[in-house]
Chains A and B, each alone.
Chain A
Amino acid sequence: MPREKENDLTEDLYSQVDGYKLVPNLETCLQCGKCVGVCPVANLSPSYNPRTVINDILRGRQDRWLKSEEIWRCFWCANCYTMCPMDIPYPMLMMQIRYRAIEKGYGLKYFFPFKRFALRAMDDGLTFAPASPKGRERIGRIRQEIGLSPWPEISQKARNEYKALFEMTGAADFLASITEDKEKPVQFSYMEGKITRARGKGN
């Protein structure tokens, strides 16, 4: 009978989060904490701690992070990745932590603004195009004063195909499937410098 190894219970637990296998070296984390030192978000909000996030994800304790406000604060600046002695692409982990949270209905209020952007981008083939005719007019004016075409030159073919890719990759269905009634209250929040259960929840 093979002997039980120390990491038998935790091995590959993090694949529950890293479904796309974009962070193959997460288990090499040294827990050195350099990421925390260079993190501008940890600087402002001490209970956001990339080292603790990695430790918890490796041990299968992702739930407390999925339910927290903290994961939505990350700027994705990748200072952590630039500094990491093991080259762990932490932003790729954070991206997927947010997917898992959305799938469980947490933090949806941080998803809806971009759902609106994405629905518009589907038609425009561009992100950030203003919705209002007035905003579009302003851009047209500035572009023409410079000597550019009033609107970025994007063909109808490009727009149609961009939209088709939303349909073909399931992105359109994903956007439609996440609706406001699925939002669950966030259970953990920042309090006195660490993650605590929100008061009065009793669990």
Chain B
Amino acid sequence: MQEARVIKPEERLPDIPGRLFLFRSCTGSIEYPGTESAIKEILKLLGIDAVMDPDQTCCSGYLLTCSAHKPELSLAVTARNLAIVEKQELDVYTFCNGCFGYISELAHILRQNPAYMDMANGIVGKLGYRFEGKTKIFHVQELWYRMKDAIAGKVVRPLAGLKVAAHNGCHYVARQYGILDDGGYPTFHEELFEILGAEPVFYKERQLCCGYAVGRGFTHKEEMVQPHLLKKFKSAEQAGVELITTVCPGCNVALDREQPNINMRYGENFKIPVIDLSQLIALALGVPVHKLGFPANTTPLNSVLEKIGIGKETADG
């Protein structure tokens, strides 16, 4: 069973697609719509066609792991969504670690267990869908890394001297046999920071998760999530981090929205802006700031924008 999880490097690094299916993320399109916009802008600059289908629904994985429903629903939802992609002969590119982790795990279960595949197809078949199991699932961060040379050639606004730290997000690194890097300590975000001219910072609690993954931000916020994140922010502050990037809008919610609460509770003064890796790349590629949706952030980005020479007048518009 574990062998079936191993995705060979050459399959992880296919040719750059001319067209891809961009899988809408609920959080990435609602809480931080700048993520969706930044990705579309980068893809436009790189000459890749992004298809978003209005018939695609939520991946349903978050509610599954919050115990709100059982796997049958999520298996059927995955079969339906992937059938839509398969019909267009495209590969899935998600921009949320949650979507990536849940869809790949559910697709793995479907492919490995014919009984589950029959069950899911039996249900979605009534709605006229059929999932064959062919579509591959990627995260857009992988595409950025695969295209790092093209991205390096398009940097028009180098992020010189900006101290950026990575937050990888657990649902991505947990797919340890099917991702670009070592699940224990991936470093390809830092490589991308260097390409953009920024200075990567490694901090002690870099691998600490955001704590929001299965809704613990709603059930155990004071008890578990805040003391957990306090450790992360303390070590980031000590390392002089000026900006944290995530690749999961869910992590973004936790790291960005919790900072004022943690400051109030523990008497700290953390002001570390948190944005998506795609938003950072879009900044360096010269995408207009008003297209990146920073007003959605709780922790403002003014210090970062000033440092890279974007005046105040454009910062909030």
Contacts and interface: CB of A to CB of B under 8 A. Distances in A.
Interface of A: 20-22, 24-25, 40-41, 44-45, 72-79, 81-83, 87, 91, 95, 98-99, 102, 109-111, 113-115, 117-118, 121, 124-130, 139, 142-143, 145-148, 152-155, 157-159, 161-162, 164-166, 168-171, 174-175
B287 to A, nearest CB: 11
Contact of B213 (A77, A81, A113): A77
B266 interface: no
B242 interface: no
Contact of A165 (B73, B215, B218): B73
A114 B211 contact: no
Contacts of B239: none
Contacts of B55: 155, 157-158, 161
B65 A95 contact: yes
A146 B290 contact: yes
Contacts of A164: 127
Interface stretch (B23-31, B187-195, B307-315): B23-31
Given A78-B173, A82-B173, A83-B184, 10 more contacts: A74-B216, A78-B170, A82-B184, A121-B58, A121-B60, A125-B58, A128-B31, A139-B33, A166-B73, A174-B70
A155 B54 contact: yes
Contact of A146 (B37, B60, B65, B69): B37
Interface residues of B, number: 69
Contact of B52 (A99, A153, A175): A153
A170 to B, nearest CB: 7
A144 to B, nearest CB: 9
B174 A82 contact: yes
